[in-house]
Amino acid sequence: MITVIQRKHFFIIAAGLLLAGCSKKSGPAPTPEPVIPLLTIASVKLNGNTVNNGNSYYNINTTASVRYVFSAPVNRTTVASGITIKDNSGTTLTYSAVYANGDSVLILQPAVLPNISLYSVAAGTILKSVAGKSLSANHSFSFVTKIDSTSKFPLLTDDELLTKVQQQTFKYFWDFAHPVSGLARERNNGDDNTVTSGGSGFGIMTIPVAINRNFITRADGLARMQKIVGFLKNTTQTFHGAFPHWLHGGSGIAIAFSTKDDGADLVETSYLIAGLMTARQYFNSASIEETTLRTDINTICNNVDWSWFRRNNENVLYWHWSPVYNWDMNVPIRGWNECLITYIMAASSTTHGIPANVYSSGWAGSGTFTNGATYFGYQLPLGPSLGGPLFFSHYSFLGVDPTGLQDVYANYTTQTKNHTLINYTHCKTNPNNQFGYSENCWGLTASDIKNGYTASSPTNDVGFIAPTAALSSFPYTPAESMKALKFFYYVLGDKLWKDYGFVDAFSLKETWFAGSFLAIDQGPIIVMIENYRTGLLWNLFTSCPEVKTGMRSLGFTAPYL
């Protein structure tokens, strides 16, 4: 008889034999497949320095080397398509590839690159490891090669260099002027029939410079002025005597600057009239030709009804009037900006002048007119924070000499000099880390930029330098402007120096160099360099009896008034 204890032992033994039998039938458990991770980048170095995904790097040696360290050996056949180096035009560069550490280290070496050029380096998921795994994530960065500091042209004396710049830049107004009217085209890369009234005023001021510097003869200069003045007097469309911003160089008909800006532009008119009055003072002989020229200029100037632009006798001047839209633009001319000359010309008119309270209430009546703050150690009497674009200190002062000039609001020697020094110091200290800015590379003002146009300033610094900014500041900052001139000409001259002088603007960060020249930027370069050298245009303009009377009426004092 089997006891209870014996039955328990029997079942335990049987269960063990059953399990053992089953184990023998199924064999050993299968080994799991190993999991192969995606390919990853451990580090990337450019010329020995670590780079981060998405960042940009500057001043890189032209013999650039990119070193990747991967988590696993890379498949060499995927490298050419998986890692690309492209230039700024999108062209893919060829490079040599060197492998190390069992193909987990890859060193790419393109050919020697040109200076000041932008490149993008991208590693994509096309890149695979030897085990067939793709790169886990895209990785890219960009870099700009260094500036070549070697001289691009033979060295000249400072005086020779200044003359060369004036002579080359003058070609814009002489060789490129509209053949029918003799007026200055707005720009070299626009409609060749679009001429600018304000830019033509600047261009007219360059003619006395060109004659005195023997770029042209007095007879040739007179003939050009006769063509210009005859066209303005007899052909050009005006509105209450004022000129449009743009006009057709052949027909004289107004060309709309914008939809409602299709008529009078009082500010551009003031630049033109200032230029004409300067030329009137220069062509001062008793000859019939020069006497007639002066008479015709006076007719043009006297026809401008400055007082009408007060719009029903308000104590402010208005910028625009349209024969279609009337006063819809509704832009009162208030300072501080480039429009001081507009009030001076209006006060100087012997036929349609304005009283002093239009200046004090209109021009100086804005709450943002005065400043008084100090920036970089320089006190700024007037204008916006950090001074605004430099053309504020150029356009009105092509003819108006700020030396010793004062009114109740400011000392204009201080205003123009400190405004320029603030702009210069901003670029020198470079708080926005713009590549290439330095004590030699500075100047923020209105200019073309990549894909557009902007009024650059310390508060609108998008990385674009305009040569006109520093060069038109020669009377205020001669040492700093000369450093900039030498940098633009000798160091960047192969990229900046062209048929009509220096191109409009450039960005070393964007490796962009304008192909354009603008009348309103080229003119001040010639004029202000001459004012620095001889004071010629200042002396001519401020010798106008009407100007002396007008400026005194507004409360200005100066040695020449």
Residues 98 and 197 in one domain: no
Q: What pLDDT is stored for residue 35 in this prediction?
A: 76
Residue 26 within any structural domain of the chain:
no
Q: Grade residue 17 by pLDDT with cuts at 50, 70 and 90.
A: very low
Residue (of 289, 287, 282) closest to 212 by Cα position = 282
Residue 27 within any structural domain of the chain:
no
Question: What SS3 state is found at 272?
Answer: helix
Instruction: Quote the CA–CA distance of 97 and 80 in Å, as a whole number.
Output: 9
Residues 334 and 256 in one domain: yes
* Model confidence, pTM: 0.92
Domain count, the chain: 2
The mean of the pLDDT values for the chain is 94
- Name residue, tokens 């007219």: 204
**What residues contact 319, with CB distance under 8 A and at least 6 apart?**
265, 266, 267, 329, 331, 332, 333, 339
* Structural domain boundaries enclosing 83: 41-145
> 145, 172, 198: which is the final residue of a domain?
145
Q: What pLDDT is stored for residue 12 in this prediction?
A: 38
Residues 244 and 107 in one domain: no
Residue 463 within any structural domain of the chain:
yes
User: Model confidence over 185-217: pLDDT tens digits?
Assistant: 999 999 999 999 999 999 999 999 999 999 999
Residue (of 453, 492, 494, 489) closest to 471 by Cα position = 489
Residue 36 within any structural domain of the chain:
no
Residue (of 39, 215, 32, 237) closest to 135 by Cα position = 39
Residues 125 and 198 in one domain: no
Q: Grade residue 34 by pLDDT with cuts at 50, 70 and 90.
A: confident
The residue count of the chain comes to 561
CATH of the domain at 281: 1.50.10.140
Residues 51 and 189 in one domain: no
> 86, 113, 145: which is the final residue of a domain?
145
Q: What pLDDT is stored for residue 390 in this prediction?
A: 98
Q: Which tokens in the block code for residue 484?
A: 């900039």
Task: Judge contact between 475 and 513, C-beta under 8 A.
Answer: no
pLDDT at 24 over 60: no
Residues 354 and 453 in one domain: yes
Residue (of 533, 558, 542) closest to 471 by Cα position = 533
**How does DSSP classify residue 123?**
E
Residues 408 and 525 in one domain: yes
What's the average model confidence in pLDDT over 494-504? 98
Q: Which of 23-37, 253-267, 272-286, 310-324 has the lowest mean pLDDT?
A: 23-37
Residue 150 within any structural domain of the chain:
no
Instruction: Quote the CA–CA distance of 500 and 171 in Å, as a whole number.
Output: 6
Residues 245 and 374 in one domain: yes
Residues 260 and 407 in one domain: yes
pLDDT at 9 over 70: no
Q: How many CA atoms lie within 13 A of 472 on its CB side?
A: 33
**Amino acid identity, position 433:** N
Residue 355 within any structural domain of the chain:
yes
Residue 558 within any structural domain of the chain:
no
Residues 286 and 398 in one domain: yes
CATH of the domain at 118: 2.60.40.1220
User: Model confidence over 333-381: pLDDT tens digits?
Assistant: 999 999 999 999 999 999 999 999 999 999 999 888 999 999 999 999 9
> 145, 170, 187: which is the final residue of a domain?
145
Residues 135 and 210 in one domain: no
Residues 307 and 394 in one domain: yes
* Helix intervals (H) in 66-107: 79-82
Q: What pLDDT is stored for residue 26 in this prediction?
A: 55
Residue 71 within any structural domain of the chain:
yes
